[in-house]
């Protein structure tokens, strides 16, 4: 239950860094300690108000306090018609944002493998806790200034009551959506594994498969009938291409689990590579922004990507907070 103490006695709200479906996200400070936090302020009096959704998100976040590579949750407070969710302030860029500064808008494999290794650690924890993220994409993977990888945006995550239970609610971004989710069939943690494969494809190719298709309803209809995407020879190492194939299997049962994927050759090859290698991507992005931040080789954002940037990118370089 939200605490009875007034949130204004505990936290001070600073600048706004993002806006979402329910409300806004702000940089904030804990008055007693001076610690910087993220404050997600949700309006409960909106027309599409669904308090249940918010309460589920909060309950979910509470369970993830010790999860590796996940933005952490500190508390929840009622403030009149609003709920304040206090979270870890993760400064850095989403992988999607950092891709803009990469040559041709694609990430080199030496970085892709480390990012995926770190995302798998988060997914392994989530899936063992019977939680499906349900909206995995490069825009929801953050890299902090120290190179730490953080999985964020559990606004649409679902809590599985038991490991064997399946969901059949349509949630997620169509381009990253597993066929069984698009079909409206029951699905489980293997839906995240499909999305993980699409995230690799997105980093290596510069965009998700079918990114030219703007009609989301049409794409959802077509997804279950489409052949699973593949990376072809010349698009990264054989190990990476095989890894993607393990994720993008039509039948969820044929996809490897997060723990099995952690044991693949591609991930084992980077077992000892420190996350600090990812600081290169942040540095590259900072240099690119300082130089004007535009490059002819990078295609203009699609309308839905622009929408995403408005939601994820704050005024401070590539500040992404959830």
Residue numbers in the known binding site are 40
Alpha helices (runs of H) in the chain, residue ranges in sequence order: 7-10, 51-63, 95-99, 109-128, 179-182, 190-205, 216-222, 238-247, 258-262, 265-268, 279-290, 303-312
Binding residues for ATP: 40
Q: At what angle do helices 109-128 and 238-247 cross, to 10 degrees?
A: 30
Token code pair at residue 212: 């030219």
Q: Which of 229, 177, 181 is CA-nearest to residue 201? A: 229
What lies within 8 Å, CB to CB, of 251 at 6+ separation is: none
Q: At what angle do helices 190-205 and 109-128 cross, to 10 degrees?
A: 170
Task: Give the whole-angstrom CA distance, residue 141 versus residue 116.
Answer: 10
DSSP state letter for 186: -
Active site residue: 48, 50, 66, 135, which one?
135
Q: Which of 96, 115, 98 is CA-nearest to residue 270? A: 115
Active site residue 79: no
| Active site (catalytic) residues | 135
């Amino acid at each position: 239950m939200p605490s009875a103490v007034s949130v204004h006695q505990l936290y001070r709200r600073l600048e706004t860094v993002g806006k979402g479906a329910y409300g806004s996200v702000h940089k904030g400070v804990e008055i007693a300690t001076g610690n910087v936090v993220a404050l997600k302020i949700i309006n409960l009096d909106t027309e599409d108000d669904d308090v249940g959704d918010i309460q589920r998100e909060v309950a979910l976040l509470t369970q993830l306090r010790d999860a590796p590579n996940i933005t952490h949750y500190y508390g929840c407070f009622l403030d009149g018609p609003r709920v304040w969710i206090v979270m870890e302030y993760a400064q850095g860029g989403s992988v999607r944002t950092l891709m803009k500064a990469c040559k041709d808008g694609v990430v080199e494999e030496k970085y892709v493998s480390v990012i995926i290794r770190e995302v798998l650690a988060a997914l392994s924890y989530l899936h063992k806790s019977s939680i499906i993220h349900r909206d995995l994409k490069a825009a929801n993977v953050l890299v902090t200034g120290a190179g730490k990888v953080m999985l964020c945006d559990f606004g649409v995550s679902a809590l599985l009551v038991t490991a064997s239970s399946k969901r059949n609610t349509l949630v997620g971004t169509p381009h990253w959506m597993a066929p069984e989710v698009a079909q409206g069939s029951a699905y489980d943690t293997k839906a995240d594994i499909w999305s993980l494969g699409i995230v690799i494809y997105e980093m290596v190719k510069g965009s998700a498969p079918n990114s030219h298709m703007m009609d989301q309803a049409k794409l959802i209809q077509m997804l279950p009938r489409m052949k699973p995407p593949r990376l072809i020879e010349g698009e990264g190492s054989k190990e990476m291409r095989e890894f993607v194939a393990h994720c993008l299997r039509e039948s969820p049962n044929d996809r490897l689990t997060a723990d099995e994927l952690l044991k693949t050759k591609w991930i084992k090859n980077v077992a000892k590579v420190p996350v600090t290698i990812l600081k290169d991507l942040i540095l590259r992005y900072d240099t690119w922004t300082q130089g004007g931040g535009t490059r002819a080789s990078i295609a203009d954002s699609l309308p839905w990507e622009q929408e995403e940037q408005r939601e994820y990118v704050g005024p401070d370089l590539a500040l992404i907070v959830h």
